[in-house]
Amino acid sequence: DQQVKQNSPSLSVQEGRISILNCDYTNSMFDYFLWYKKYPAEGPTFLISISSIKDKNEDGRFTVFLNKSAKHLSLHIVPSQPGDSAVYFCAARVGTSGSRLTFGEGTQLTVNP
């Protein structure tokens, strides 16, 4: 039962344009969502998060939007840079930071110069 889904395994954009990565979830108990970036043979690096009480959180070039009614969140990167090329994982959890994370399958983002 895949509770967190990233339906696009890959995304390719031009440098300077916007990258939009999408994530859907099924468990209505999730109340905290995170995006991680991962390079090959490395662990995931935390990017940005959002609590279910908010619908938007922005940090520099990264903005996460949450639509609770649709159980959908998205990560916007603008402007995209070649160094952003990596696999992006959406993750969700229930409750406090001690709780386990459930990950999506990941989306490979390629930003072309």
Q: Footprint of other proteins on this chain (CB under 8 A)?
A: 9, 32, 34, 36, 41-46, 49, 51, 89, 96-98, 100-106
Whole-angstrom distance, CA of residue 113 vs CA of residue 27:
38
Residue (16 or 46) nearer to other proteins, CB: 46
For residues 77 and 92, which CB has a smaller minimum distance to other proteins in the complex?
92
We find the least distance from the C-beta atom of residue 73 to other proteins, in angstroms, to be 15
104: Cα within 13 Å, side-chain hemisphere:
31
Q: What are the tokens at 92?
A: 């969700």
CA distance 21 to 47: 13
Residue 53 CB, shortest distance to other proteins, in Å, is 11
Which amino acid belongs to residue 34?
Answer: L
**Which one, 79 or 101, has the nearer CB to other proteins?**
101
